[in-house]
Amino acid sequence: MIRREYPRYFLLILPAALIFTTFFFVPMTRLAVVGATGDEGAASYLSIIQTPRHFESMVATVLLSIGVTAFALVISTIAGLFLVRNRFRGSETLVSLLTFPLAFPGVVIGFMIILLAGRQGLIGGISNYLIGYKVVLAYSMWGLFLGYLYFSIPRVILTIMASAEKLDPALEEAARSLGASSWEVIVDVILPALKPGLIASGAICFATSMGAFGTAFTLATNIDVLPMTIYTEFTLNANIAGAASLSIILGIITWVALLLARSLSGSTVAASG
């Protein structure tokens, strides 16, 4: 039996620890301190409530993220359950296609939405042909909504499919044989069994939407989501303390959401949006 050789493990983990301390923990601490060096000192953390522009952007981002999460969960549950339950020719391809945009950066997703719903986009072209009027959604709240949905669906579908595969079909059969309708089976058997997966993927989806920068940046909407507000404060207004305090608040929100996800499911697939 090898003794647990802690000095050796410590040595092996040291390079990673040093890089993390130097380039993450120390700078993040500094960021938190800088956030409290504005005109009002530590009270500048309250700017998210007191400055109307910051507060509005916070509310808009939270509402958008909640809306995207709700839609992504419903859409992905329907599609994910279907794909787990039914094997048919091409179903594997469908799964691959649905998870294909996982590695797209936020900027590319923004461009996808421009092609879909922008000024020369597909939806505009079709609506122009049908009703003689170009429907342009990309640069409004709808564009952001579609974009966030675009990067959320693949992630949520993967998590839901993973938990749906663990479902015991016998439970469902038992419920049916006892006379439950399809609807009752869904509400009383399937959804409760999927609940941990749904909460976990919902939290991931919410956190990613809150922090998404690339998509909003490409769509260049006049709706200020929180990451865009931080970016503007830092680059245009040179309000470094304000940008720092907003970043810390945003970081805490996303971290808590993902912590919740991990405690429920044990794994998170968060990436940039």
Partner 1 sequence: MRRPKIFYGQLFFTLVVCAFLIVPAILSALAGVTENFFVGLKSGFTFRWIIEVWELYSETIYLSLLIAVFCLIINLFIGVPAAYSLARIGGRTARIVEEMIVLPVAIPGLAIALALIIMYGGFRDFRISWSFILVGHVLYTLPFMVRSVLAVLTSTNFKILEEGAASLGAPFWHRFIYVVLPNAKPGILAGSLMVITLSVGEFNLTWMLHTPMTKTLPVGLADSYASMRLEVASAYTLVFFVMIVPLLIAMQLLAKSQRQPKKLIQDEDAH
Residue 37 CA, distance from chain mean position: 31
For residue 255, state whether it binds partner 1 (rule: CB under 8 A).
Answer: yes
Using the rule CB under 8 A, which residue among 48, 69, 106, 144 binds partner 1?
Answer: 106
Distances (CA, A) of 263 to 155, 193, 196, 202, 268: 18, 17, 10, 13, 10
Using the rule CB under 8 A, which residue among 113, 194, 198, 205 binds partner 1?
Answer: 113
For residue 124, state whether it binds partner 1 (rule: CB under 8 A).
Answer: no
Using the rule CB under 8 A, which residue among 46, 49, 63, 259 binds partner 1?
Answer: 259
Region from 46-54, 55-63, 79-87, 188-196 binding partner 1, contact rule CB under 8 A: 79-87
Using the rule CB under 8 A, which residue among 159, 227, 239, 265 binds partner 1?
Answer: 227
For residue 126, state whether it binds partner 1 (rule: CB under 8 A).
Answer: no
Pair 144, 228: CB distance under 8 Å: no
Using the rule CB under 8 A, which residue among 50, 82, 184, 192 binds partner 1?
Answer: 82
Distances (CA, A) of 267 to 10, 151, 158, 163: 25, 18, 12, 12
Please report where in the chains the tokens 């050796």 appear, as a residue. 8
Q: Which of 222, 223, 243 is nearest to 232 (CA)?
A: 243
Least distance between partner 1 and beta carbon 112 (Å): 4
Please report where in the chains the tokens 């971290």 appear, as a residue. 255
Q: Which residues of 170-190 are buried (b: 16+ CB within 10 A; e: fewer)?
A: eebeebeeeebeeeebbeebb
Residues 35-74 that bind partner 1 (CB under 8 A): none
Q: Which residues of 74-90 are buried (b: 16+ CB within 10 A; e: fewer)?
A: eebbebbbebbeeeeee
Least distance between partner 1 and beta carbon 222 (Å): 15
Using the rule CB under 8 A, which residue among 48, 58, 68, 83 binds partner 1?
Answer: 83
Please report where in the chains the tokens 């998509």 appear, as a residue. 215
Using the rule CB under 8 A, which residue among 111, 139, 148, 206 binds partner 1?
Answer: 111
Using the rule CB under 8 A, which residue among 58, 68, 84, 114 binds partner 1?
Answer: 114
Distances (CA, A) of 60 to 10, 44, 128, 141, 255: 45, 20, 30, 9, 19
Region from 42-50, 58-66, 172-180, 238-246 binding partner 1, contact rule CB under 8 A: 238-246
Distance CA 223, CA 229 (A): 10
Least distance between partner 1 and beta carbon 188 (Å): 18
Size of the site for partner 1 (CB under 8 A): 87
Using the rule CB under 8 A, which residue among 42, 63, 187, 220 binds partner 1?
Answer: 220
Least distance between partner 1 and beta carbon 106 (Å): 6
Using the rule CB under 8 A, which residue among 43, 49, 116, 221 binds partner 1?
Answer: 116
Q: What is the number of other CB atoms lying within 10 angstroms of the CB of residue 257? A: 24
Pair 150, 112: CB distance under 8 Å: yes
Residues 173-212 that bind partner 1 (CB under 8 A): 182, 207, 210-211
For residue 89, state whether it binds partner 1 (rule: CB under 8 A).
Answer: no
